[in-house]
Amino acid sequence: MSLPFWVFLIVWLVGLGSTFLPVVPATLIIFAGAATAALLDGFQWGADGLFLLVFLLLTVLAMVVDNAASAWGARKYGGSRQAMWGALAGGIVGGLLLPPLGLFLGPPAGAFLAELLLVRRPVNEALASTWGTVVGLFTGLGAKFALHLLLGAYGLWHFWPR
């Protein structure tokens, strides 16, 4: 096995293991491993450029899915547009104020407060969209993990010695 293969494998495993740790940018770690391995492999614009472009698109997709899932969940369970934005804002504020716990508590709290204070829905309806935010949060985490597995398979295939 070549050095680029081992570098990618090790960094991908670290990123994959970090998927469930909110303060660790696991998706970016995996991308950095792919870019480093491509450089160690004697970067060639044709093969490696296309590989990194596809890898970058999958990386962005993983990040978007992860960040939008809570908002989607709030909307899916009857939440308003304000609850959707509240979930997004709650994730950002929670992540800044109480890392790593705030990244899990912020989106549901943001959706709940938006429904209660901005839309003026009753508590039971606000709790329904809050539950949707929790469902979306864990759905996003599962989707991000699946995309990390896909990124790993794609990277291992690319760096496998031929």
Mean pLDDT of 107-131: 93
CA dist 5 and 34 (Å) reads 9
**Residue 42, Ramachandran bin (φ over 0: left; ψ between -120 and 50: alpha; else beta):** left
Q: What residues make up the domain containing 91?
A: 3-159
Residue matched to tokens 């293969």: 5
In whole angstroms, give the CA distance from residue 51 to residue 16: 19
Structural domains counted in the chain: 1
Question: What's the confidence (pLDDT) of residue 71?
Answer: 76
pLDDT, tens digit (0-9, with 9 covering 90-100), for 11-33: 999 999 999 887 788 999 999 99
pLDDT tens figures, 34-53:
999 999 988 888 888 999 99
Query: For the whole model, what pTM was predicted?
Result: 0.80
